[in-house]
Amino acid sequence: MAILGESQEMLADLVGRYLTENFDYEKRRHVLARDAWPVDLWQAFAQELGITGLPFAEDQGGVGLGPLDIMVVMEALGRGLAAEPFLSSVVAFGAVVNGLDAAPRAPLSPLVGDVIAGDARVAIALSDAQGAPGNGNRLLTPDGEGWRLTGDASIVTAAAGATHVILSAMMPDGKSALALTPCDAAGLIWTNLPLIDGTMASALKTDMLLPDAALIARDAADLLLAVHDAILAALGAEITGIVSALIAITVDFAGQRTQFGKAIAQFQVIQHKMADMYVEGELARSMALLAALKLDGDPVERSAAAAACKARTAIAGRMVAQNAVQIHGGIGTTDELVVGHYFKRLLAIEAIYGGAARHIKQYAGHRATLGSPLSVA
């Protein structure tokens, strides 16, 4: 029985073809010379592809589709090295909006509409210094009729070019709150941080006054976990897309490169490597599918599947990328070949969101909560 339906396969094909025709490798290299994601591409995502409205409800102007639809889009964006800022503005922001009750969600409708239209982008700072869901050192303290937000965020992806940012912070009662503010608000100090994959993140320091209405959630611990799991599942899909692209490129290269008078794809050792790469790719995609299917289910099972997905795809990504570089030889590490850029994107994801070891331990913890403990060395 097929898990993905015809509409999802068509959506993946639509996004993939658009990126192939309009955002090829050379254009991406040009884009990376800028500080921010190109406005025209983001608006194309909104106006030509319509993917910026996927997770938002129809009464907010969105499409109201589910996690599997997000997965196939993230997979296509992974193959096209174009996942930012879709990950923050659509996946993460969509999870925030959908996790709120009707009353606190209503004031966000104008911003949701702007995101769907391609006129706004939202950065997310909802983790601690280690990338785990939390508040870090960010604090909210009463100040007059509003709040003073202090602290920092060591890395905020897709902040360059974002119009708004959502930050988590601890309130005086110890609960986590979410605050929404324009990125150019007084008291926000941004510092650009070029990442290894060529994209631009930012470090943030804040000491600012916020009106009471800026707090969109005041007891957000569960919501933070749900958003984090949605991000991990989406990253698993992105990695799966990268892995599939690396496998296709490597198979094609091995069929063309000759050594000792014949294509290296005819050598058994190369065949075994590529077969192992294929197996890793299938394992990664299976875990990405599982994580997507669990996003609307029991919170503990959801978190377990998300952690397992991130761990398994991280292992697959590193193995496939390393073998792709090895089969290509030295050219696989150069800036002129896309293979090295896929590898750098995988390394950036691992550095920001944690590697396999960390997520395996988290998975073991969730398994213990579910009554099925797993021993992790």
Q: Look up residue 236 and give its two tokens.
A: 């698993």
- Could you count the other beta carbons within 10 Å of the beta carbon of residue 185? 15
| Predicted pLDDT of residue 376 | 61
CA distance 341 to 22: 18
pLDDT of residue 372: 79
Pairwise CA distance, residues 202 & 55, whole Å? 26
CATH entry, 222-369, from 1.20.140.10, 1.10.1040.10, 3.50.50.60, 3.40.50.300: 1.20.140.10
Pairwise CA distance, residues 200 & 341, whole Å: 14
- Contacts for 166 with CB less than 8 Å, ≥ 6 apart: 93, 96, 122, 123, 124, 125, 126, 178, 179, 180, 216
User: What are the structure tokens assigned to 293, written together?
Assistant: 């299917």
What is the rounded CA–CA span in Å between residue 13 and residue 11? 5
CATH superfamily of 6-120: Acyl-CoA dehydrogenase/oxidase, N-terminal domain (1.10.540.10)
Whether 123-220 and 6-120 are alike in CATH topology: the answer is no
- Determine the pLDDT at residue 35: 60
Looking at residue 1, what is its pLDDT?
42
Mean pLDDT in runs of 10 for the chain (377 residues)? Answer: 82 94 81 71 94 95 95 96 92 97 95 97 93 94 96 94 96 97 97 90 96 97 97 98 97 94 95 97 97 96 97 97 95 89 94 91 91 70
The residues spanned by each domain of the chain are 6-120, 123-220, 222-369
Topology adopted by domain 123-220: Butyryl-CoA Dehydrogenase, subunit A; domain 2 (2.40.110)
Predicted TM-score of the model (pTM): 0.95
Upper half-sphere CA count for residue 136 (Cβ side, 13 Å): 22
